[in-house]
Amino acid sequence: MATPAQQPQPGIQPQLPFVAPCHKLKTTAAFRWIKLGWQDFKHAPRQSIMYGFVIMLLSYIVSFFALEFGNFFSILSLILSFLLLGPVIAIGLYSVSCQLQEGKRPVLGYCLREGLRHFGNIGVFSLMLMVVFLIWARSASMLHVFYPVESGAGFESYVTFLGIGTGVGAVFSFIIFTASAFSLPMIMDRKVDTVTAVITSINAVFHNKKAMLVWAICIFLSVLLSFATAFIGLLVFLPVIGHATWHAYKETIDASQWPSSSGSEFDESLQ
């Protein structure tokens, strides 16, 4: 005699999976995300440019101190720090894209409130980034010790130094990229802990290696062009990449099993 299937008891939350499933992406998916990010930029130009302007000013301040108290390699460190800390810097842009996707008029005040709401998880993630960045900085200083490049060094010495330094930086960039590609948008979108979001991001990156390689190259080129234009490019490149990251998350990660962290709580009085 067949026994009836057990029904979930009222008041008991269903068990959530260890990692959110991901979709298989086409290699050219990054170009679609950038196109959607550009559309968000055009729909919210004031918020996007304001965000990019603040980051541009901060970049000038950091660069001044890097040149005043450091050297050219301090600027290279600044470039890598942008790659490492970019996901946290762009968190407000995820909220703008989320509001646009929900048919709302984007409000920066709501972005700030969303950031405060997820302050705990964002703080844990930022701490993780800081630890990785400090380890990278220590590795860079050790590189100066074992591979000193003096003012009279030859071309080969510079090539060796830059080659090893680039390799070390690439390792840390890869670690941060896989952990942050989708984790912060997921934290903003769903009631999920940092560990689950990070593991979900890593899983999605490894299941879509070609597509994510193209996406990583697009991010790197946008940072490179921003520096090549004396940070003026940050006014456009950073907001577009931030908006595109939100669309990348929505297209890649199926987080429907986790409860939404926004929506009905939107404060219309902010508009």
The whole-number pLDDT of residue 154 equals 62
Which CA distances in Å does 229 have to 141, 222, 224? 28, 11, 9
Over the chain (271 residues), the average pLDDT of each successive run of 10 is: 46 72 95 96 91 83 71 59 65 86 78 68 79 76 63 64 75 87 89 91 95 94 88 91 94 91 48 43
To which residue do tokens 């860079």 refer? 140
How far, in Å, CA of 139 to CA of 165, rounded? 9
- Whether the CB-CB separation of 168 and 84 falls below 8 Å is answered with no
Which CA distances in Å does 266 have to 104, 112, 119? 9, 12, 17
Does pTM surpass 0.75? yes
The end-to-end CA distance of the chain, in Å, is: 60
Which CA distances in Å does 138 have to 29, 134, 157, 217? 36, 6, 21, 26
The whole-number pLDDT of residue 91 equals 80
The whole-number pLDDT of residue 146 equals 62
